[in-house]
Amino acid sequence: MMLVAVVVSWGVAGVEAGASALLGALSCFVPNALFAARLLLGMVAGRPASPGRFLVGELVKLLASVALLVLVVYVAQAWLVWPALLFGLLMVLKGYVLLLMFGRLP
Host H or E run for residue 97: helix 95-101
pLDDT at 105 over 70: no
Q: pTM value?
A: 0.83
Q: Please, which residues have CB within 8 angstroms of residue 46's CB and are 6 or more apart in sequence?
A: none
pLDDT in tens, 63-103: 999 999 999 999 998 999 999 999 999 999 887 787 777 77
Q: How far apart are CA 24 and CA 5, in angstroms?
A: 10
- Give Dmax over CA atoms of the chain in angstroms: 48
pLDDT in tens, 24-40: 999 999 999 999 899 88
Q: Please, which residues have CB within 8 angstroms of residue 98's CB and are 6 or more apart in sequence?
A: 1, 91
Q: How many CA atoms lie within 13 A of 24 on its CB side?
A: 28
User: What is the residue extent of each domain of the chain?
Assistant: 2-101
